[in-house]
Amino acid sequence: MSNPRSAADAVSFKRELTAVIPHLRAFARGLCGRPDLADDLVQETLLKAWAAQERFEPGTSMRAWTFVILRNAYLTDMRRNRFRADYDETVAERILVAPAGQESPLHLSDLHRALLTLPPERREALLLVGAGGFSYEEAAEICQCAVGTIKSRVGRARAALSAMIEEGAIPRRAIADAVAHDAIMEELEESASSVEHTPS
Amino acid sequence: MPRVPGRLLPSAVETGLVSCFSAAVWGGKLLRMTRDKGMKNIGHERPKRGRQPSPDWASGLRRLYDSVVEEPLPDSFAELLKDLDSKDV
Protein backbone atom coordinates (compact mmCIF):
# COMPACT_ATOMS: atom_id res chain seq x y z
CA MET A 1 0.00 0.00 0.00
CA SER A 2 1.36 3.40 -0.91
CA ASN A 3 -0.89 5.05 1.63
CA PRO A 4 -0.17 3.56 5.03
CA ARG A 5 -2.45 4.34 7.87
CA SER A 6 -1.63 7.10 10.22
CA ALA A 7 -0.03 6.55 13.59
CA ALA A 8 -3.32 7.56 15.20
CA ASP A 9 -5.10 4.77 13.33
CA ALA A 10 -2.54 2.26 14.55
CA VAL A 11 -2.94 3.46 18.11
CA SER A 12 -6.71 3.22 18.05
CA PHE A 13 -6.52 -0.16 16.34
CA LYS A 14 -4.28 -1.44 19.07
CA ARG A 15 -6.50 -0.01 21.76
CA GLU A 16 -9.54 -1.75 20.31
CA LEU A 17 -7.62 -4.97 19.82
CA THR A 18 -6.51 -4.89 23.45
CA ALA A 19 -10.04 -4.28 24.65
CA VAL A 20 -11.36 -7.31 22.83
CA ILE A 21 -8.82 -9.82 24.22
CA PRO A 22 -11.01 -10.95 27.15
CA HIS A 23 -13.80 -11.75 24.69
CA LEU A 24 -11.45 -13.63 22.40
CA ARG A 25 -10.30 -15.69 25.38
CA ALA A 26 -13.90 -16.47 26.35
CA PHE A 27 -14.84 -17.50 22.82
CA ALA A 28 -11.69 -19.60 22.43
CA ARG A 29 -12.23 -21.28 25.80
CA GLY A 30 -15.74 -22.20 24.78
CA LEU A 31 -14.54 -23.57 21.47
CA CYS A 32 -11.62 -25.67 22.56
CA GLY A 33 -12.11 -26.20 26.29
CA ARG A 34 -8.52 -26.09 27.47
CA PRO A 35 -7.40 -22.69 28.79
CA ASP A 36 -3.78 -23.04 27.64
CA LEU A 37 -4.71 -24.02 24.09
CA ALA A 38 -7.40 -21.35 24.05
CA ASP A 39 -4.87 -18.67 24.97
CA ASP A 40 -2.45 -19.95 22.30
CA LEU A 41 -5.28 -19.54 19.85
CA VAL A 42 -5.95 -15.99 21.03
CA GLN A 43 -2.28 -15.06 20.67
CA GLU A 44 -2.25 -16.48 17.16
CA THR A 45 -5.39 -14.45 16.47
CA LEU A 46 -3.86 -11.23 17.78
CA LEU A 47 -0.79 -11.64 15.57
CA LYS A 48 -2.94 -12.33 12.52
CA ALA A 49 -5.22 -9.40 13.30
CA TRP A 50 -2.24 -7.11 13.71
CA ALA A 51 -0.79 -8.22 10.41
CA ALA A 52 -4.15 -7.71 8.69
CA GLN A 53 -5.04 -4.40 10.32
CA GLU A 54 -5.18 -2.57 7.00
CA ARG A 55 -8.25 -4.62 6.25
CA PHE A 56 -10.12 -3.58 9.37
CA GLU A 57 -12.66 -0.87 8.71
CA PRO A 58 -12.61 1.63 11.57
CA GLY A 59 -16.03 1.99 13.12
CA THR A 60 -17.02 -1.63 12.55
CA SER A 61 -17.04 -4.25 15.27
CA MET A 62 -13.55 -5.26 16.36
CA ARG A 63 -15.02 -8.14 18.30
CA ALA A 64 -16.79 -9.58 15.26
CA TRP A 65 -13.76 -9.00 13.03
CA THR A 66 -11.33 -10.74 15.36
CA PHE A 67 -13.79 -13.58 16.05
CA VAL A 68 -13.69 -14.41 12.34
CA ILE A 69 -9.92 -14.65 12.50
CA LEU A 70 -10.07 -16.73 15.66
CA ARG A 71 -12.59 -19.23 14.34
CA ASN A 72 -10.67 -19.66 11.10
CA ALA A 73 -7.47 -20.27 13.04
CA TYR A 74 -9.34 -22.72 15.24
CA LEU A 75 -10.76 -24.67 12.32
CA THR A 76 -7.37 -24.77 10.62
CA ASP A 77 -5.72 -26.04 13.79
CA MET A 78 -8.52 -28.52 14.25
CA ARG A 79 -7.88 -29.97 10.83
CA ARG A 80 -4.31 -30.47 11.86
CA ASN A 81 -5.71 -32.36 14.83
CA ARG A 82 -4.23 -29.97 17.31
CA PHE A 83 -7.37 -29.65 19.39
CA ARG A 84 -9.48 -32.51 20.57
CA ALA A 85 -11.93 -30.45 22.57
CA ASP A 86 -10.06 -31.32 25.73
CA TYR A 87 -11.59 -30.13 28.89
CA ASP A 88 -9.89 -28.68 31.91
CA GLU A 89 -11.70 -30.14 34.89
CA THR A 90 -9.65 -28.33 37.51
CA VAL A 91 -10.63 -24.86 36.40
CA ALA A 92 -14.28 -25.38 35.64
CA GLU A 93 -15.16 -27.55 38.64
CA ARG A 94 -14.62 -24.61 40.93
CA ILE A 95 -17.49 -22.67 39.46
CA LEU A 96 -21.04 -23.51 40.39
CA VAL A 97 -23.81 -22.66 38.03
CA ALA A 98 -26.81 -22.14 40.22
CA PRO A 99 -26.77 -19.24 42.65
CA ALA A 100 -28.39 -19.85 46.03
CA GLY A 101 -32.13 -20.33 45.74
CA GLN A 102 -32.22 -21.85 42.27
CA GLU A 103 -33.57 -25.35 42.08
CA SER A 104 -31.25 -26.83 39.50
CA PRO A 105 -27.85 -27.98 40.76
CA LEU A 106 -26.30 -27.78 37.33
CA HIS A 107 -22.61 -27.08 37.40
CA LEU A 108 -20.91 -24.84 34.91
CA SER A 109 -18.48 -27.67 34.36
CA ASP A 110 -21.36 -29.97 33.34
CA LEU A 111 -22.62 -27.34 30.96
CA HIS A 112 -19.18 -26.78 29.48
CA ARG A 113 -18.65 -30.51 29.05
CA ALA A 114 -22.02 -30.85 27.36
CA LEU A 115 -21.16 -27.92 25.12
CA LEU A 116 -17.91 -29.59 24.09
CA THR A 117 -19.74 -32.67 22.85
CA LEU A 118 -21.53 -30.61 20.22
CA PRO A 119 -20.21 -30.52 16.67
CA PRO A 120 -17.98 -27.43 16.37
CA GLU A 121 -20.26 -25.54 14.04
CA ARG A 122 -23.20 -25.86 16.40
CA ARG A 123 -21.03 -25.13 19.38
CA GLU A 124 -19.67 -21.94 17.90
CA ALA A 125 -23.14 -20.82 16.79
CA LEU A 126 -24.50 -21.28 20.31
CA LEU A 127 -21.46 -19.60 21.83
CA LEU A 128 -21.83 -16.55 19.60
CA VAL A 129 -25.56 -16.12 20.10
CA GLY A 130 -26.19 -17.62 23.53
CA ALA A 131 -23.02 -16.57 25.33
CA GLY A 132 -21.44 -13.76 23.31
CA GLY A 133 -24.71 -11.96 22.73
CA PHE A 134 -24.34 -11.61 18.96
CA SER A 135 -27.48 -11.38 16.84
CA TYR A 136 -28.19 -14.18 14.36
CA GLU A 137 -27.17 -11.80 11.59
CA GLU A 138 -23.83 -10.98 13.20
CA ALA A 139 -23.16 -14.64 13.95
CA ALA A 140 -23.92 -15.51 10.33
CA GLU A 141 -21.35 -12.97 9.19
CA ILE A 142 -18.74 -14.29 11.56
CA CYS A 143 -19.35 -17.89 10.44
CA GLN A 144 -19.67 -16.87 6.80
CA CYS A 145 -22.96 -18.63 6.32
CA ALA A 146 -26.65 -17.84 5.90
CA VAL A 147 -28.73 -16.49 8.78
CA GLY A 148 -31.04 -19.50 8.44
CA THR A 149 -28.08 -21.82 8.86
CA ILE A 150 -27.09 -20.10 12.08
CA LYS A 151 -30.64 -20.26 13.41
CA SER A 152 -30.79 -23.95 12.65
CA ARG A 153 -27.41 -24.63 14.27
CA VAL A 154 -28.35 -22.69 17.39
CA GLY A 155 -31.68 -24.51 17.56
CA ARG A 156 -30.06 -27.92 17.26
CA ALA A 157 -27.39 -27.01 19.79
CA ARG A 158 -30.00 -25.83 22.30
CA ALA A 159 -32.12 -28.91 21.80
CA ALA A 160 -29.12 -31.19 22.26
CA LEU A 161 -28.00 -29.41 25.43
CA SER A 162 -31.52 -29.33 26.86
CA ALA A 163 -31.90 -33.04 26.20
CA MET A 164 -28.56 -33.83 27.82
CA ILE A 165 -29.32 -31.69 30.87
CA GLU A 166 -32.89 -32.88 31.33
CA GLU A 167 -31.94 -36.52 30.97
CA GLY A 168 -28.90 -36.09 33.15
CA ALA A 169 -26.90 -37.59 30.31
CA ILE A 170 -23.95 -35.27 30.43
CA PRO A 171 -20.92 -37.32 29.50
CA ARG A 172 -17.92 -37.60 31.74
CA ARG A 173 -14.62 -36.26 30.55
CA ALA A 174 -13.29 -39.21 28.56
CA ILE A 175 -16.59 -39.87 26.83
CA ALA A 176 -17.05 -36.21 26.05
CA ASP A 177 -13.71 -36.16 24.35
CA ALA A 178 -14.48 -39.24 22.27
CA VAL A 179 -17.92 -38.02 21.29
CA ALA A 180 -16.64 -34.56 20.45
CA HIS A 181 -13.83 -35.98 18.41
CA ASP A 182 -16.17 -38.13 16.35
CA ALA A 183 -18.47 -35.19 15.81
CA ILE A 184 -15.56 -33.00 14.83
CA MET A 185 -14.31 -35.49 12.30
CA GLU A 186 -17.77 -35.72 10.78
CA GLU A 187 -18.04 -32.00 10.30
CA LEU A 188 -14.54 -31.19 9.20
CA GLU A 189 -15.17 -32.01 5.57
CA GLU A 190 -18.21 -29.77 5.59
CA SER A 191 -16.37 -26.85 7.10
CA ALA A 192 -13.15 -27.29 5.14
CA SER A 193 -14.32 -25.14 2.28
CA SER A 194 -14.82 -22.05 4.42
CA VAL A 195 -11.67 -22.34 6.47
CA GLU A 196 -9.17 -20.47 4.38
CA HIS A 197 -11.04 -17.19 4.16
CA THR A 198 -9.80 -14.26 6.13
CA PRO A 199 -12.02 -11.30 6.85
CA SER A 200 -12.06 -8.71 4.15
CA MET B 1 -72.88 -7.76 19.07
CA PRO B 2 -71.80 -11.14 20.40
CA ARG B 3 -70.13 -11.10 23.74
CA VAL B 4 -67.59 -13.49 25.05
CA PRO B 5 -68.17 -14.54 28.67
CA GLY B 6 -64.94 -12.99 29.84
CA ARG B 7 -66.10 -9.55 28.74
CA LEU B 8 -69.68 -9.83 29.98
CA LEU B 9 -69.00 -9.46 33.65
CA PRO B 10 -66.82 -6.34 33.76
CA SER B 11 -69.07 -4.46 31.38
CA ALA B 12 -72.14 -5.55 33.31
CA VAL B 13 -70.60 -4.34 36.54
CA GLU B 14 -69.54 -1.09 35.01
CA THR B 15 -73.00 -0.34 33.65
CA GLY B 16 -74.68 -1.20 36.95
CA LEU B 17 -76.76 -4.02 35.51
CA VAL B 18 -75.62 -6.42 38.19
CA SER B 19 -75.94 -5.68 41.88
CA CYS B 20 -72.82 -5.23 43.91
CA PHE B 21 -73.50 -8.38 45.89
CA SER B 22 -73.98 -10.74 43.01
CA ALA B 23 -71.14 -9.14 41.15
CA ALA B 24 -68.87 -9.87 44.06
CA VAL B 25 -69.97 -13.51 44.29
CA TRP B 26 -70.03 -14.14 40.61
CA GLY B 27 -67.06 -12.07 39.96
CA GLY B 28 -65.07 -13.88 42.60
CA LYS B 29 -65.95 -17.27 41.22
CA LEU B 30 -65.53 -16.32 37.64
CA LEU B 31 -62.25 -14.62 38.20
CA ARG B 32 -60.92 -17.51 40.17
CA MET B 33 -62.01 -20.01 37.55
CA THR B 34 -60.57 -17.94 34.79
CA ARG B 35 -57.33 -17.49 36.59
CA ASP B 36 -57.04 -21.20 37.41
CA LYS B 37 -57.79 -22.16 33.88
CA GLY B 38 -55.37 -19.58 32.62
CA MET B 39 -52.60 -20.86 34.80
CA LYS B 40 -53.20 -24.42 33.72
CA ASN B 41 -53.11 -23.40 30.12
CA ILE B 42 -49.89 -21.54 30.56
CA GLY B 43 -48.38 -24.58 32.19
CA HIS B 44 -49.53 -26.83 29.39
CA GLU B 45 -48.71 -24.59 26.53
CA ARG B 46 -45.24 -23.56 27.60
CA PRO B 47 -42.97 -25.99 25.83
CA LYS B 48 -40.47 -27.58 28.15
CA ARG B 49 -38.03 -28.04 25.37
CA GLY B 50 -38.88 -25.42 22.81
CA ARG B 51 -36.76 -23.09 20.76
CA GLN B 52 -35.74 -21.10 23.78
CA PRO B 53 -33.44 -22.72 26.31
CA SER B 54 -34.54 -23.09 29.89
CA PRO B 55 -33.43 -19.99 31.79
CA ASP B 56 -31.06 -21.71 34.19
CA TRP B 57 -28.70 -23.25 31.69
CA ALA B 58 -29.03 -20.35 29.28
CA SER B 59 -27.73 -18.00 31.93
CA GLY B 60 -25.05 -20.58 32.76
CA LEU B 61 -23.79 -20.31 29.21
CA ARG B 62 -23.44 -16.55 29.57
CA ARG B 63 -21.78 -17.00 32.92
CA LEU B 64 -19.26 -19.42 31.44
CA TYR B 65 -18.40 -16.76 28.91
CA ASP B 66 -18.45 -13.86 31.34
CA SER B 67 -16.32 -15.71 33.88
CA VAL B 68 -13.52 -15.87 31.32
CA VAL B 69 -14.05 -12.27 30.21
CA GLU B 70 -13.62 -11.16 33.82
CA GLU B 71 -10.42 -13.13 34.42
CA PRO B 72 -7.28 -11.02 34.72
CA LEU B 73 -5.17 -11.26 31.58
CA PRO B 74 -2.11 -13.48 31.78
CA ASP B 75 1.16 -11.53 31.47
CA SER B 76 1.89 -13.16 28.15
CA PHE B 77 -0.68 -10.89 26.54
CA ALA B 78 0.94 -7.71 27.77
CA GLU B 79 4.23 -8.97 26.37
CA LEU B 80 2.67 -9.82 23.06
CA LEU B 81 1.01 -6.40 22.81
CA LYS B 82 4.32 -4.71 23.59
CA ASP B 83 6.04 -6.69 20.84
CA LEU B 84 3.41 -5.80 18.25
CA ASP B 85 4.69 -2.25 17.85
CA SER B 86 8.05 -3.48 16.66
CA LYS B 87 6.45 -5.71 14.05
CA ASP B 88 6.08 -4.48 10.50
CA VAL B 89 2.55 -4.46 9.26
Per-residue model confidence as pLDDT tens digits over A35-82: 999 999 999 999 999 999 999 999 999 999 999 999 999 988 888 765
Q: Which of A128-132, A176-180, B84-88 has the lowest mean pLDDT?
A: A176-180
For testing the chain B interface, which of A29, A66, A154 should be mutated: the one with the most B CBs within 10 Å? A29
pLDDT higher than 50, residue A115: yes
> Between B57 and A148, whose confidence is greater?
A148
3-state secondary structure chain A: CCCCCCHHHHHHHHHHHHHHHHHHHHHHHHHHCCHHHHHHHHHHHHHHHHHCHHHCCCCCCHHHHHHHHHHHHHHHHHHCCCCCCCCCHHHHCCCECCCCCCCCCCEHHHHHHHHHCCCHHHHHHHHHHHHCCCCHHHHHHHHCCCHHHHHHHHHHHHHHHHHHHHCCCCCCHHHHHHHHHHHHHHHHHHHHCCCCCCCC
Q: For residues B48 and A128, what is the distance between their CA atoms, to the nearest angstrom?
A: 23
Confidence label for B86 from pLDDT (cuts 50, 70 and 90):
confident
Per-residue model confidence as pLDDT tens digits over A17-37: 999 999 999 999 999 888 999
Size of interface A-B (CB pairs under 8 A): 105
Q: Look up residue B3 and give its DSSP letter.
A: -
**What does the pLDDT read at residue B40?**
39
Which whole number is the average pLDDT over B58-62?
A: 88
**Yes or no, beta carbons of A102 and B56 under 8 Å apart:** yes
> Between B69 and B59, whose confidence is greater?
B69
pTM over 0.90: no
Nearest by CB to B65, from A21, A26, A50: name it: A26
